[in-house]
Every structure is written in C-alpha cells, then in structure tokens.
Amino acid sequence: MPAEQLPPTEAPEVLTVELGDRSYPIVIGSGVLDELGQRLKQVLSPRGCAVVTNPTVAKIYLARTLRSLREAGFAPLTIEVPDGEEHKSLASLKLIYDRLATAKIERSSPLIALGGGVIGDLTGFAAATYLRGVPYVQVPTTLLAQVDSSVGGKTGVDLPAGKNLVGAFYQPRLVVADIGTILTLPRREVVAGLVEVIKYGVILDAELFLLLENEIERILDLDLSRLQELVRRCCAIKADVVRRDEREADFRSILNFGHTLGHAVETLTGYKRYLHGEAVAVGMAFAAKLSRVRNLCSVDTERRIVGLLQRTGLDVAVPAGLEVADIAAAVGGDKKVENGRVKFVCVEEIGRARFEMVTSQEIGRLAVQGSAEVE
C-alpha cells in the first residue's frame, strides 16, 4: 500500500488558536486530508475555491484534496506554482492573482494552501491581499509547516534583497495537518522540521525535550503516533504564543531561538548549502554556547541541546571560512535589530528562555571562535 494511503493510527485531534472572532481550529491526524471538505464546510458554506500547490505535492496529494472538496460541495480550481523557495516571489503572486481574477474568484471564496511553508506563506499573502482579503486554509504537508509556518498568520514572499521582506499578519480560517503526508517527505526535510520541534522543547517545554531525547530514533523512523504527538504539542505551544502576542510585539520573538545566527548562515552561504532548519540548528547550538559563555545556562544544558541536534545527523558547527565582519553585518541586517543590538534569545535551562541584548560584533566574534560544539 503506498505510504500516502496508510490507514489512520490515532483519532484526529483538534486544537484552537484563540483570537476572539478570528479564532480557528487546527485539525491534526493521519488521514485528515480526506476530511478537508467536511471540515471546511463547518467553517464556510460550499462555494468556489482555489487550491494553490506545486507539482511535487500535486503529484501525491492533489487528487485526494480535490475529491474531498468536491464531495463536500466545493468547486475547486487548481493553481500550480513551481516548487522551491525561489518561487516564493512576486512573480508567483502575480500568477496566482491572474488566475483568481480570470476565474472570477469572489471575496468569500477560500484559497487552500496545499504544501510546505513556501506554498503556505505565498498563498496566505495572496489571500491577505486579493480583493483586500479572502479566507484561506492551511493544509501543511511538511513537518516544518505542520509545527510552525501553518499556524500564526505570518504570510509573505521574498524579494531579491532578502527573505520575507513583503508580508502581512493574516490568520487562516482552518488548518488541516495530515501527519501521514510526512511519510513521503525526503528525510532531509523531516530532519529540518525536527529542528523546529527541538526548538520548542528548548525554549518552552522541557517535557517535550525529554520525549525527544528518549525517542529520537523512533521519531526519525517516522512512527506516526509519536509524530502526531509532536505536531500536537508544537501546535499547542505556537497557538499559545500567538494568542499572547499575535503581532510579535515582544513575546512571540522567543520563537526566533537559533534564528539570528541561522539566518546569517543562510544569507552568507547564498541560501544553497543549508535548508532553513539546518541553518537554525547551527544557530541553536550557537545560542546555547552564547548562553553558557554568559553564564545564563550550564554546560550540561548546552551539551543536551547540541547532543540532541547531533543525534538527528546534523552538523551544527558554524561553517568554516566565515569572517567576523560578515557575520556581524548579516546579523545587523536582521529585522529584529534595535539600536545596533540584537534581541537575542538565550536559554536558561531546558524549557526556559530569555531575551538578551547582544551586539552583532559579539555574535560574529563568538561564532568564529572554534566550532559550536561544547569545548
């Protein structure tokens, strides 16, 4: 039996992102893609809609998606954009707008993002802006999108000058995360998504971190019930962070743990060598090191973080050959810089994080000082 048709293992679970009249459900389970139409019908009455996806995902999951929507009475149009981060672009956005306009998609007709974070961010931004806002649904098919990007309403596209430079906060009406889709994901993408799961454990959930330490091999073997538990826990954490600080006035930036140096590493290696999660792993090991150097956390805490990341098979060393000045400049270009200082997320102990103001020079100096491994 093909992996994508495996029977459900656990009952679906439903969480809610509590945002008053913009609250929305997150449905998590194996096989829930086939319930998409029925779940959407509980939120919006059947009408025209547009599924935005890419050829890689379409080949595996589009037929099931369209069938589920049609059976519930929706009339879906499909819009395919090419696969890849380079297509999270204004050009893809124009393609989507043009198709929506040609099909006379109305203001009440939802867009459905079927794919990973690239499709989710792009579709969400198209929804935020087309006709000044149409509803949209996230159907995340990567681990990263299920635990992070599909929840919370950050949408946007990249510009040649940098990632995510154009965007909007715009919440979906529904998230349907089918755990079974992870079975067809390349292992490298699974590991990159797991880095964000480890991040939630480090900053906010010591029990989750312990579960990962105890079960990482089973998780890497794609045990569906464990994966469902991970996705549920991460979505619950993210839903709570978003409820408390939807527009990242302060607390939500705790989710940037590992991302300050991670983004710099991605930029300085031309977005080619690392997947986002892989670069964040380098940044997380570095953030643990910086926290230990500043006496905010123990050597043992740093060891546990680096150790768990390495057990996924990742190399967490800062890539050789980067100069202090280049790292400092890349870090200084981040959206989160205030008066030349970076609001850097440090760890105090597993499950507890705090902000520290750090200069980009200090980050650059410490990053090139030996590898990020525990000395």
* Binding stretches for ligand GLY (CB under 6 A): 148, 152, 154, 252, 255
Binders of ligand NAD among residues 185 to 214 (CB under 6 A) are 185, 189
Residue 57 binding result from ligand GLY, ligand NAD, none, given CB thresholds of 5 to 8 Å by partner type? ligand NAD
Give Cβ neighbours of residue 14 (< 8 Å, ≥ 6 apart).
Answer: 25, 26, 27, 28
Size of the site for ligand NAD (CB under 6 A): 28
- Residue 370 class from Cβ within 10 Å (0-12 exposed, 13-18 middle, 19+ buried)? exposed
77 neighbors 211 (Cβ within 8 angstroms) = no
List the beta strands (DSSP E) in 81-179: 111-115, 136-140, 154-159, 162-169, 174-178
SS3 339: coil
Query: Which of 12, 31, 37, 115 is in the footprint of ligand NAD by CB under 6 A?
Result: 115
**Distance separating alpha carbons of residues 192 and 198, to the nearest angstrom:** 10
In the shown chain, the binding pattern of residues 126 to 155 toward ligand NAD, with x for contact by CB under 6 A and - for none, equals ---------------xx-xx--xx--x-x-
Task: Tell how strand 136-140 and strand 174-178 pair up.
Answer: parallel
Closer residue to ligand NAD in complex, CB, 109/149: 149
- Please give the helix or strand (H or E) that residue 357 lies within, else none: strand 352-359
Active-site positions read: 132, 154, 196, 238, 248, 252, 256, 259, 263, 276
Q: Which stretch binds ligand NAD (CB under 6 A): 74-82, 125-133, 181-189, 289-297?
A: 181-189
Closer residue to ligand GLY in complex, CB, 115/152: 152
Closer residue to ligand GLY in complex, CB, 152/172: 152
Give Cβ neighbours of residue 179 (< 8 Å, ≥ 6 apart).
Answer: 28, 29, 30, 146, 224, 227, 228, 231
Query: Which of 36, 52, 54, 232 is in the footprint of ligand NAD by CB under 6 A?
Result: 54
Contacts with ligand NAD, residue ranges (CB under 6 A): 54, 56-57, 60, 83, 85, 88, 115-119, 121, 141-142, 144-145, 148-149, 152, 154, 163-164, 181, 184-185, 189, 276
